[in-house]
Amino acid sequence: MIKVLYDCDNTMGIPNKDVDDGLTLMYLIGNNLIDLLGVTTTFGNSHIEDVFQATTKLFNDLNITNIPLKKGAGKGSDRKSEAAAFLVDMVNQYPNEITILATGSLTNLYGAYCLDPHFYDKVKEIVLMGGLTKPLIINGKNLDELNFSVDHEASYNVLHSGATITTMTGHICLQAEFGKTEYERLMENKDIACYSYIKKHSYAWYEHFKELFATEGFFNWDIVSGVYITNPELFDNNYTSIISSDEDLKKGFLKTEDDHDKGSIVNIPTEILDIGLFNEIIFETWKNVKIKRM
């Protein structure tokens, strides 16, 4: 099994806030390839108090009692948090065995490095959702980068850490639209408890995002990175050299360089090779998630 620590800014259940971190947590919980060792919360989609409260509720709804949940820092200037200390403890317990999935600001990872300068050397792999290589335009509207830019100093530290890193940018995540077809599948299978839960707790965001960007639904950003961990064969590998400065990362911009002797090598996949199989894996995995009777 793949040992995973999930660092996220989950806001599933909060009005007009993104739901993809919650959907990703459900994917990790339901996947029999994943040994989820812990979840740490960070800010990004909302303030840390909102994120921690929403994630605590999700843990309760999913009846998760055997996985640690740790609260991260509330701002970039105060990185040495409970979550950062937990990350350090876990990679020391399982050196070079843990994949860290991080889908919000990277404050907790930088905090772990501040506590232990050898932190990155003990991580097997870091998989991220974040960054842009060009403007992200959805039906003529620009969408700002909202992960790497939230704590740009932390992003710089992680991206140039020397760790094995893959990041799913906003561009590839546009291929993971959660639209009418996906909602019909949820509604046609109401006897599956997890599907009913997802419908109930994501439909408001589905409608909100449609209104904002005139789309068929929302984009399931973070779960793309989760599926990469379990099924990397569904993606094209695209190793490139990143030379982004701290200033570039204030906008989440990944500046690339053809010369791999410069900058830091990061894998930036650009394509989901089989979107049908990608969605099928997600839906079949969600079936395994148990919902607490409300």
Task: Give pLDDT tens digits for 95-119.
Answer: 999 999 999 999 999 999 999 999 9
Instruction: Give backbone dihedrals phi and psi of 88, rounded to 5 degrees, phi first.
Output: -60, -45
Give the model's pLDDT for residue 76.
67
Q: pLDDT grade, residue 45 (50/70/90)?
A: confident
> Which amino acid is present at 100?
I
Structure confidence by residue, pLDDT tens digits, 223-281: 999 999 999 999 999 999 999 998 999 999 999 987 777 889 999 999 999 999 999 99
pLDDT bucket at 4, cuts 50 / 70 / 90: very high
Which of the listed CATH numbers 3.90.245.10, 3.40.50.10540, 3.30.360.10, 3.40.190.10 matches domain 2-286? Answer: 3.90.245.10
Amino acid code (one letter) for 233: E
Provide the edge-to-edge strand list for the sheet that holds 256-257: 69-71, 34-41, 2-8, 98-102, 125-129, 165-168, 264-267, 239-242, 256-257
Pairing of the two strands 239-242 and 264-267: antiparallel
pTM of the model: 0.96
Domain ranges (residues) in the chain: 2-286
Residue 25's pLDDT is 98
DSSP-assigned letters across all residues of the chain: -EEEEEEE---TTSTTS--HHHHHHHHHHH-TTEEEEEEEE-SSSS-HHHHHHHHHHHHHHTT--SS-EEE--SSTT----HHHHHHHHHHHHSTTTEEEEE-S-SHHHHHHHHH-TTTGGG-SEEEEE--BSS--EETTEE----SGGGGHHHHHHHHTS-S-EEEE-HHHHTT-EE-HHHHHHHHHTTTSHHHHHHHHHHHHHHHHHHHHH--SSEE-HHHHHHHHHH-GGGB---EEEE---HHHHTTTB--EES-TTSSEEEE----BS-HHHHHHHHHHHHTT------
Rounded to the nearest integer, the mean pLDDT of the chain is 94
